Structure 1
Amino acid sequence: MPKHAQTAPWWQDAVIYQVYPRSFADADGDGMGDLRGVAAKLPYLERLGVDALWLSPFYTSPQADAGYDVADYRDVDPLFGSLGDFDAMLAAAHGRGIKIIVDLVPNHTSDEHVWFGEALAAAPGSPERARYIFRDGSGADGEEPPNNWQSIFGGPAWTRVTEPDGTPGQWYLHLFDTKQPDLDWENPEVREEMKDVLRFWLDRGVDGFRVDVAHGMVKAEGLPDWSAKVAMVAGNEPAGTAGARDDVLITEPSLDLPEEDVSAATPPYFDQEGVHAIYEEWNAVLSEYDGDRMMVAEAWVEPMSRIFRYVRRGEMQQAFNFGFLLAGWDAERIADNVAETLAEAAVVDAPPTWVLSNHDTVRHSTRYGLSDPTTFPKGISAEDEQPDERLGWARGRAAAMVMLALPGSAYVYQGDELSLPEHTTLPAEARQDPSFFRTGGEERGRDGCRVPMPWVADAPGNGFAEGTEAAAPWLPQPDSYATYAADRQVGVPGSTYELYRELLGIRAERGLGHGILAWSAEHAPAHGLLGYANGELLVLANMGVAPVELPGDHRVVVASQDEAVFEGQLAADSAVWMLPL
């Protein structure tokens, strides 16, 4: 069904484009992307055909973790402009039929938030400290942390403060950086404050929220030690496998456990039952507003059934499907994830979501070019294996064709539509991710996927900033980015931008987001083939090593690359969309 004829909420089948504001477009020439830069690129995004933008944090912040350390939830950091710039950008986006989703960071604030300053100035046991998780230390004179929790970014999750009288004092919890103290969500004042923040942005007209660390916030009663062996791994990837990620801790061995045993393998600071009461309250706030406002959960939890608990009726509208992202270039793993996702989504009557890359992951076009295209490294440096860029380009385009025909909602990270690769040789002195520093460089960090966008190949900084006197981009771009610049792709047949544009057009025209998937019995994932139908559209992807015959009763309407189809066959590392003859 064409989009204009739909009556379902817009987010059920939306294609949502993630904008990382500091790296998208720089309108004032200071080397940092900004909101006026986003507004300037709206024609580009409208032409691409996306339905909504998700903006990573642009709030007032000391930028210790690229804005995920919020000092003021109700204002724009001067790096990115002003509230007036936000309002103008929002109005311009709405004028083009594009929704706006903003990032919300409720697990922690910045240590420069006024609340934390008040907490440090107040006494132990005070209402000011009760907004955060302060505890007395253990051991003689409290010189040891309250428990053994470790930070997601490496090192202890507790920091001791100096009391106003100059004596060593209590400890505060920070599951991430020391400059990101965790809020205490058992405190009614915290809950009311964040609902007020929701209303502040809803009143301005935003269409939804991406909720950071949605599986955090509530901690187990008593903050018990977590003594199980832990590994830095991705939320849907069993520990000890290739998938590794720097923003969640789960246990070894695999978390492939019965539902009743999940609690035994869940850290006491993630996926606690209390988070669902919070989202029921938030859902009620969104219901006060018209326009099908929405929330999407960043919840790295396992198994899949627990992810979909976040989108039960009366809670959130969407949750990220990180299992699809983690499947890599592997037909069996993708097919397994798609089947499980659709089954669990049906249980709670919620739309599935699909995503290949985001601001926390090595770009998929680079991961797919590694010797094992299912690996999930925590960043890549010049000392690590370097990908086959051409192979990753081909597989990345084919993977987009697999994703964009699936029922549900799809997320596209900025630059995916240009086949941007990871910056895999970023020098250590240029890195800014706190996980790089807190692990002594053992984790390469996320800077490589956050490199500023290339807009004009022959301009300084590849046209990231406006003006000939503009400062250099805040992160250096690799030499290859000129090849991928937007001005070399928009309107150029065969470019990745035009491929995405064509796919999104067909997706909208045929209502694929509201379609029903039917697997193709002739194309077995065990043989490296992925095949499914959505309505009349047949999607085939060859993830094996040899060409395969294409069905003779269908015609190719889109191919992932010029070399994809030859003599009635589909080449390896390629995909096609087909319609009946």
Structure 2
Amino acid sequence: MRLLIVLLVVASAASASELDWWKTALIYQIYPRSFKDSNGDGIGDLNGITQKLPYLQQTGVDAVWLSPIYKSPMYDFGYDIADYREIQDEYGTMADFDNLLNEAKSLGIRVVLDFVPNHTSNESAWFERSAARAAPYGDYYVWADGRNATDENGTVYAMPPSNWVSNFRKSAWEYHPGRGQYYLHQFVIGQPDLNYRSDSVQEAMKDVLRFWLDKGVSGFRVDAVNKLYEADPNNYGGVYPDEPLSEIPGLGPDDYEYLIHVYTENLNETYDVVYDWRDLLDEYIATQGEYKIMMTETYADLSLMIKYYGTKTRNGSIPFNFSFLEDITMNSTAWDIKTVIDRWMTYMPSGRVANWVNGNHDKSRVGTRQGVDRIDAMNMLALILPGVAVTYQGEEIGMVDGYVSWNDTVDPWGCNTDDPVAYASVSRDPERTPYQWDGSAHAGFSTAASTWLPVADNYLTLNLAAQIAAQKSHYHFYKDVVANRKSPAIQEGDLDTKALSESLLVVTRLLPGEAGMLGVVNLAAEAQTIDLTSLKILPSDLEVVASGVNCALEKNATLTKSSIPVSAHCALLFRSGIVGGGNAAGAHYLSLPLVLLVVATYSITACFS
């Protein structure tokens, strides 16, 4: 009987672990094309990812999120999907994916896939059948007749159905001569928008989710989710209404920001679709015994992002915290950073899980956006705040944007500028350059004569192998912080933020009965000595458990809270003594966790252009 009770307790604990893994997960985004090339063709692939899984396990990653690996003509490098159930040839085979999934699971790493529901490729069989009006695909996409216009000579000509503009510039409508109508594409011409007012489309996309869930993936990141719905023409006399002008100076009709997107973004119907997907994922929790995570990409006002969490009666997704990604800049003060953190935690519904995103394949890297001296600070902040942390490949070693010339540019966003100067301001290629593994040719990414994008010029000195060999590095600091992220204080502790001044931010995590942690970051250009005796609950003695690249204090050093010397541009993580009142002198204190981040802001004159 006693043995049975023990077995039941162990089984219950394992079940809880499987169901709660996502709440404090460290998720590592892999852009497969740029991670590791295993076959020498200059393009990263699935087998390359599999080769590097031990590295990710050693780093402390809980799950990997793979940018699209599906069959695609690659006009937008995988976000134009021809077949959701096939692997793109240059990435490998389905057998390669199954092997990656099995190897990852054997190492305790979960696999999350990119789900791209807003559009397919125009080379998809769905689109070809829809263009031919074949049942049931006729209404799978957003089709519309053009508008008639008359030129100055009285000649009648056809115009697009509305003034809507693609995210990648120019009209969001493209005429299809075979069907004799225009189709909507909110991104490149080769990405026709699906029609979510069709029940058949909604069921087809659920079947895509089921296909990969049946294989055993642990969830999805959902791309461009806030663009699923457009205005219903039935509510506007059978036509698609023009969007109002933004009146931003210097923009023209081809620019996306020229319009205010009231008819093509954040429509209320979108949320119900996301909630339905959550219901579907929840069905697999019962059958596979594992929580299936869903994270949604939504560049929108915070109040609109937060709605993706769900309602009182329906669960939703984790909306990516793009406030953390975009609203903290190289000029942010401690007050600014506190505001960004507090706003998310305030807006987030009770009982939901926060997340902190430092970068992705669409945004310049931290070292470029905020300056290299903020790399350790921002990595630490993302890792010690409550909830999910998302790291884009290369941020753990402090990669910065690579230079990609006009001739080497392949990103459609950059190419659509038709401008060999202006392209650099919008191209996403610089943050997608290959991972810098070592100082060998092409940074150890590939043995090919050339790679799909050029490797960043600084790879000889900035690479993983060099950082592992160095006594101190961004990678050592990142890995040390990840190890301490597993502490109960960071996993479960309450959050409090205090801006002590324009340059000092304090972030505390408190959990009764556990040892504390203390993080100190000085982003100022001069060294500072900090006195934290005003934090009464914090024990006097502190031990350094992670030391950033610019810090004079070394790991394992001890000091007191009354005098904490912090070098310029330094990030430190301490373990505190046990917090609370003991029963007698010399007795152990009641353990109370504390995680503290002190940030001093600074100015920087150089930035990527």
* TM value normalised by structure 2: 0.80
Letter in 2 for 1:320: F
Shift of 1:310: 0.4
Residue 277 (str. 1) matches residue 272 (str. 2): yes
Partner of 1:338: 341
Q: Deviations over 1:262-316 (max 9, x none)?
A: xxx75211111111111122112112212101110001110x2321210125343
Partner of 1:301: 300
Residue 426 (str. 1) matches residue 404 (str. 2): yes
Partner of 2:506: 531
Shift of 1:557: 3.0
- Give, in whole Å, the separation in 2 of the partners of 1:518 and 1:479: 41
Shift of 1:513: 3.4
- Give, in whole Å, the separation in 2 of the partners of 1:483 and 1:14: 31
Shift of 1:348: 4.1
Decide which moves more: 563-572 or 54-63.
563-572
Residues 6, 572 of structure 1: alpha-carbon distance in 2 compared, 3 angstrom cutoff: farther
Q: Which of 219, 233, 247 does residue 208 from structure 1 map onto?
A: 219
- Give, in whole Å, the separation in 2 of the partners of 1:250 and 1:201: 39
Q: Structure 1 stretches of 5 or more lacking a match?
A: 233-238, 241-245, 252-264, 370-391
Shift of 1:573: 2.6
SS at match of 1:288: helix
- Give, in whole Å, the separation in 2 of the partners of 1:569 and 1:317: 42
Shift of 1:355: 1.0
- The correspondence of residues 243-392 of structure 1 with structure 2, limited to 5 A, is 267-290=262-285, 291-302=290-301, 304-312=302-310, 314-326=314-326, 327-329=328-330, 330=332, 331-345=334-348, 347-369=349-371, 392=372
Q: Structure 2 stretches of 5 or more lacking a match?
A: 1-12, 150-155, 234-239, 511-515, 533-539, 555-562, 578-609
Shift of 1:545: 4.3
Q: Deviations over 1:60-110 (max 9, x none)?
A: 000000100000000100010011000000010011111110001000000
SS at match of 2:195: coil
Shift of 1:349: 2.0
Q: Which of 33, 36, 51 does residue 62 from structure 2 map onto?
A: 51
SS at match of 1:171: strand
SS at match of 1:430: coil
RMSD: 2.5
Q: Deviations over 1:101-125 (max 9, x none)?
A: 00010000000001111222338xx
- The correspondence of residues 65-464 of structure 1 with structure 2, limited to 5 A, is 65-122=76-133, 127-140=136-149, 143-163=158-178, 169-222=180-233, 223-229=240-246, 267-290=262-285, 291-302=290-301, 304-312=302-310, 314-326=314-326, 327-329=328-330, 330=332, 331-345=334-348, 347-369=349-371, 392=372, 394-423=373-402, 425-441=403-419, 442-444=422-424, 445-457=427-439, 459-464=440-445
Residues 170, 255 of structure 2: 8 Å contact kept: no
Total equivalences in the alignment: 516
Letter in 1 for 2:339: D
Letter in 1 for 2:432: R
- Give, in whole Å, the separation in 2 of the partners of 1:149 and 1:129: 22
Percent of aligned pairs with the same amino acid: 35
SS at match of 1:143: strand
- Give, in whole Å, the separation in 2 of the partners of 1:200 and 1:128: 20
Letter in 2 for 1:139: N
SS at match of 1:29: coil
- Give, in whole Å, the separation in 2 of the partners of 1:22 and 1:7: 30
- The correspondence of residues 541-552 of structure 1 with structure 2, limited to 5 A, is 541-551=521-531
SS at match of 1:365: helix
SS at match of 1:576: strand
Decide which moves more: 8-17 or 40-49.
8-17
Partner of 1:243: none
Partner of 1:561: 549
Larger Rg: 2
Residues 13, 230 of structure 1: alpha-carbon distance in 2 compared, 3 angstrom cutoff: farther
Shift of 1:569: 2.6
Residues 320, 248 of structure 1: alpha-carbon distance in 2 compared, 3 angstrom cutoff: farther
SS at match of 1:296: strand
Letter in 2 for 1:406: L
- Give, in whole Å, the separation in 1 of the partners of 2:183 and 2:247: 22
- Give, in whole Å, the separation in 2 of the partners of 1:6 and 1:341: 26
Residues 136, 200 of structure 2: 8 Å contact kept: no
SS at match of 2:572: strand
Higher-RCO chain (CA-CA 8 Å, sequence separation at least 6): 1
Residues 324, 340 of structure 2: 8 Å contact kept: yes
Q: Deviations over 1:540-572 (max 9, x none)?
A: 333344433223635233232243559843234
Residues 61, 67 of structure 1: 8 Å contact kept: yes
Shift of 1:170: 1.2
Shift of 1:497: 1.6
Letter in 1 for 2:319: A
Q: Deviations over 1:398-428 (max 9, x none)?
A: 21112211011100000011111101x3211
Letter in 1 for 2:502: H
SS at match of 1:89: helix
Residues 104, 323 of structure 1: alpha-carbon distance in 2 compared, 3 angstrom cutoff: same
Shift of 1:249: 5.1
SS at match of 2:277: helix
* TM value normalised by structure 1: 0.84
Q: Which of 64, 67, 83 does residue 75 from structure 2 map onto?
A: 64
Residues 551, 571 of structure 2: 8 Å contact kept: no
